[in-house]
Every structure is written in C-alpha cells, then in structure tokens.
Structure 1
Amino acid sequence: MSLDTRLEAATSEYQRLQKELSDAIEARQRLDSQLQENEVVQKEFKLLKDDANIFKLIGPVLVKQDKSEATTNVNKRLDYIRSEM
C-alpha cells in the first residue's frame, strides 16, 4: 500500500472518529439538558400540596394529571436519563 493510500485511509478514519465523538457529545449535552429540566420539575413537585392541579402537555392539549402519577413519571424519566448517561 502506498503512503498516499494509507494517509487517505487514516484521514477517513480520523474524520469518522471525529464525527462519532461529535455525535456523542451532542447526545450527552441533550441528556444533560433533559436531566436538569426534570430535576427542576421534581423539586417543584415537592413544593406542591397533594391536591395541587398538575397538567401535562400532550400535543396541543393540556391534560390534568394526578400529582402521584406525574411524580412517578418524572422519577422514571430521571432514572432513564441517568442510565443513558
């Protein structure tokens, strides 16, 4: 194999690895952002009374949700995000 061919192969591999790293960093940042958002929601839920009205946005509609159900969903989401990280 000539030097040019090896150099092209090494360059291609380097570019592929750079793209892979960039994708991983982007995914990590997205997960970190989601984690922070959900942690804020979790803290806010702790401040609410048990009979507080909580609404979940589903498409263009706000749907009423029980506090316990909403808290469980946020906790599960946090567990999932942490496991992905």
Structure 2
Amino acid sequence: MDYATALTVVESFMSEVKSSLANQEPVFLRGFGSFILKHRAEKTARNISRNTTVIVPEHDIPAFKPAKEFVASISKLKNI
C-alpha cells in the first residue's frame, strides 16, 4: 500500500469516528479498543494569572479505552 492510499484510509476512518462521537455513538474495534465520550460535570476552577474563579460548564470529551487483548500484547512486548 502506498502512502497516499494509507493516508486516505486513515483520514476517512478518523472522519467516521468523529461523526459517530458527534452523534453520541461509541466506536468499538474488537481486539483494539473503543472510542467513547466521557461526561465531565460542571466545576469551579481558578485562573491563577487573574486570581479569579471560573465556572467550567459540564461537557463531553472524547476518550480511547484500549481492549484487554491490546493491553496484554503491549505488556508482552515490554517484557522482551
């Protein structure tokens, strides 16, 4: 596979992951992991430079959770 083809495949995959997460749908890749949304509650933070309090609203953030098989295979490589 040449570079241009690989780039097209990866870019289209990431585009599908982004659109799925935008629609609140997780993406599962068996044996690799899951792209999910994590919900963060509203919190109070500090702006140190201005010495003020800022309210950070609740929001969702994208996250990746690796599959157990993937983690196990990486652990085996580390021990070699």
Shared fold, TM over 0.5: no
Query: Could you say which structure has the larger radius of gyration?
Result: 1
Higher relative contact order (CA 8 A, sep 6+): 1
Instruction: Give the alignment's TM-score, normalised by structure 2.
Output: 0.34
The structure carrying a bigger helix percent of its residues is: 1
Normalising by structure 1, what TM-score?
Answer: 0.32
